[in-house]
Structure 1
C-alpha cells in the first residue's frame, strides 16, 4: 500500500497529465490496495468516492464532490437547460472534436437536449481544491444515452473534467467543462501511448 505522500504525488501527476492531455489518452489508476480513487476498466461502473469511506479527504475536496453530484443530478432530471444553469457567465465548454463554446448564453443555446431523449450521466472520481479554496476541479467518467432514428440505443462514454469557481456571492459555478472520448485501453497511472 503506497504511503500518503505517494498517493498525493500520484494524484497530482495524474490530474496534471489529464489536464494537459484532454484528448483522453492519459489514463490514471491508483493501486487497488490504496484508499485512493480508481478509474474503472472500460465497461464497468466507476466507483463513487464516499466521504465516509474516505475520511482523509479534505473539506474542500468533499465540497467539490458534493457540488459535482448535485450538478449531475440536476442535469439527469433537467437536461440541457439544467446543464447550462450551472455555468458562470464566462464559463467555457470543450468537447471532443468541437469548437469551444464561450459564455453561459452560448452554452445554453447549444445545450438544448431533453432528458427524455438524451440522458447524460456522470460520476465524479476525484477532485482537488486550490490553495485559496475558491477554485478547484473534479474529474470522472460520463455516459450519454440516446436512440437512433430506428430506436436502437446509442451510448457514448468518456472522461470529463469540471473546473469550479466560487462567485463573489459565495455560490459555486462551473468555469470550465471539458470532455474527451473514452481511452482505447486502461492502464496504470499516466501511461501515454507510444506513437
Structure 2
C-alpha cells in the first residue's frame, strides 16, 4: 500500500508539472516497471517510452490527468464540472445518470472524506479528432463507521468530446467493479 501511495504522489506531482509551459511530450507521467499510475500491471503510456503516440492520444491522456488532479483536490463538485450538459454516467449495477445536473446531484463527496483516484492505461482518438476515449483503473478510499479504511477499485472508461468553443468535456463516464482474479473465477468449490 505504501508503494501505491508513493507512486500516486509521484503521479500527482507529475500532473502538477503538466500544467506548466513545458512541451506536451515532457508533461506525460511515466510509470516504472510496466505499472500504471495506481501500481497495477499494464502498459505504461508515455511519449518518452512510446514515441509513436499520436498527438490525439497525448491530448486525451493530458485531459484525463487534469481531470484526476481536479477531482483529487475538489471532490465530487470538481468531478461534475468536467461533464458536458448532455453527459451520461454508467456505474456498475446502477441506472444511467443523464445530464450534468443529475451527475452533480449525485457527486456530493468531500475529498477529505472520500478520495477518488485513477490512472489512464490507454487512450484512442477518433479519426475526426473531436471525440476519443481513455480507460484505466480507479480506486476509491474512505473509512467505515469504525474508522477502518475501505478501498473500492475497478476499471473505467471516459469518452471525451470537443465542444464548439474548442474545450473538451466528458461525454460519458463508465465504471465497473474490479474483475475477479483469474484463479477466483474458475476455482472448483472445495468440500
TM-score w.r.t. the length of structure 2 is 0.74
1:41-93 CA deviation, whole Å, 9 max, x = no partner?
xx943554222121100000000000000000000000000000000000010
Q: Name the residue aligned to 1:104.
A: 100
Q: Name the residue aligned to 1:90.
A: 86
The answer for unaligned runs of 5 or more in structure 1 is 1-37
The answer to which structure has the higher helix fraction is: 2
Is residue 181 from structure 1 mapped to residue 172 from structure 2 by the alignment? no
Displaced runs of 4+ in structure 1, greater than 2 A? 43-48
Q: 1:77 aligns with which of 61, 73, 80?
A: 73
1:91-118 CA deviation, whole Å, 9 max, x = no partner?
0100011111000000001000000000
Is residue 45 from structure 1 mapped to residue 40 from structure 2 by the alignment? yes
CA contact (8 A) 1:46 1:141 kept: no
Aligned residues: 150
Q: Secondary structure at the match of 1:75?
A: helix
The answer for unaligned runs of 5 or more in structure 2 is 1-33, 187-191
Greater RCO, 1 or 2 (C-alpha within 8 Å, sep 6+): 1
Q: Name the residue aligned to 1:145.
A: 141
